Structure 1
Amino acid sequence: MKCIVGLGNPGKTYQSTRHNIGFMVIDELLNRFHWDLNKKKFNGKYAMERVAGDKVILLKPQTYMNLSGEAIRPLMDYYNIDTEDVLVIYDDLDLPAGKIRLRGKGGHGGHNGIRSMIDHLGTKEFKRIRIGIGRPITPQPVVDYVLGGFPKDEHEDVIASIKKSADACEAWFDRPFADVMNEFNSRYI
């Protein structure tokens, strides 16, 4: 069983913000597969279906970003999912809008959602797709920036990064993550 977790904040207020790009990738996958987030348990909303004979869970934690680990740990325990079968998708200030970067492990890099994941999983070794949101050009608190929407001139790049990330998720269903990482990291430099 594989579990793909998109990080974000619940509620309409945050729906189109930079911090919710992980949720946007989950929405893209739900649309592609014609699935619904029809389960609500473990502080999250999720879908569980089969892809090529294997079970796949798509999860949106409903704990708010900084407590994301509180949703994934109980779900993993309940379904007996190993950390090697978890892929987390989230926003990254250090990448420009439209860029994605796949990693097999790493630190939190100041991202509180990832910090929570590391704390609750007890390891830094889980797969990730980092999606660039860029840094603010004008002086403003980071929290205001990540909770703001994308400017119109970035929409095309943002949509492309969401689709590329969903493509990478689908590729992971069939191939080892190292192969997917090599392909997508070299293709989208």
Structure 2
Amino acid sequence: MKLIVGLGNPGKEYENTRHNIGFMVIDNYLKNEKFKTKFNGMYLKKVINNEEVIFLKPLSYMNLSGEVVKKYVNYFKINLSDLLIISDDLDMPCFKIKLKYKGSSGGHNGLKNIIQNINTEEFKRLKIGISNNLNIDTKSYVLSKFNQEELEKLHKKFEITNNIINDFINLDFEKVMSKYNESR
């Protein structure tokens, strides 16, 4: 069973903000499917290519995402090698996509909280760049909404993120990383 987590903040006021890119990727992949609520998270369990997959959007706010992720990992008995976290990355160019097998939080508080709660840095990540090119403070920037031009660029990346999710479900992660990290 796979667990794919899109990080973000709950509530209308955070829709289409840079920090909610994980929610946006999950929502685009699942289109209009209906989520259930459990353990302070919205989730959907599906079978894709004979593999059970749980999609999760924590409702705890970004900085406490790890508490929700830990509950899902434990309840559904997820092997950490089957966990993928989708997040924004302030240090990467806008909309650049990068896959990582493990690593530190890189200053991302949601990732930091996940690392603290599951006691390891060894989980897979799909990171999407949101580079702060406006020279405003970090909190204001990550909570700012994408403008229309940025949203259009992001929506063009969704085909790639959808393919990455499909490949994560079906392929060895080393193959997925080499396929997408080298070409982007």
Letter of the 1:119 partner, please give it.
Q
Please, which of 156, 161, 164 is the counterpart of residue 157 of structure 2?
Answer: 161
- TM-score when normalising by structure 2: 0.96
Q: Residues 42 and 72 of structure 1 are in contact (CA less than 8 Å); yes or no, is this contact kept in structure 2?
A: no
Q: Does 1:115 align with 2:112?
A: yes
Corresponding residue number in structure 2 for 1:148: 144
Q: Does 1:100 align with 2:97?
A: yes
Please, which of 34, 37, 41 is the counterpart of residue 36 of structure 1?
Answer: 34
Q: When the two structures are aligned, how many residues end up with a matched partner?
A: 184
Q: Does 1:131 align with 2:128?
A: yes
In 2, the alpha carbon distance for the partners of 1:114 and 1:171 equals 22
* Cα deviation code 1:92-148 (max 9, x no counterpart): 11111121000000000000000001001100000000101111323x210000000
* Aligned-partner SS, 1:5: strand
In 1, the alpha carbon distance for the partners of 2:128 and 2:24 equals 11
In 2, the alpha carbon distance for the partners of 1:93 and 1:35 equals 29
Letter of the 1:29 partner, please give it.
Y
Larger mean CA deviation between 16-25 and 159-168 belongs to 159-168
How far did 1:53 drift?
Answer: 1.3
In 2, the alpha carbon distance for the partners of 1:92 and 1:172 equals 20
**Residue ranges of structure 2 left out of the alignment (5+ in a row):** none
Letter of the 1:87 partner, please give it.
L
Corresponding residue number in structure 2 for 1:13: 13
In 1, the alpha carbon distance for the partners of 2:97 and 2:60 equals 25
Larger mean CA deviation between 154-163 and 93-102 belongs to 154-163
Work out the percentage of aligned pairs sharing the same amino acid: 44
How far did 1:49 drift?
Answer: 1.1
How far did 1:54 drift?
Answer: 1.3
In 2, the alpha carbon distance for the partners of 1:115 and 1:75 equals 17
Q: Residues 25 and 163 of structure 1 are in contact (CA less than 8 Å); yes or no, is this contact kept in structure 2?
A: no
**Residue ranges of structure 1 left out of the alignment (5+ in a row):** none
In 2, the alpha carbon distance for the partners of 1:43 and 1:173 equals 24
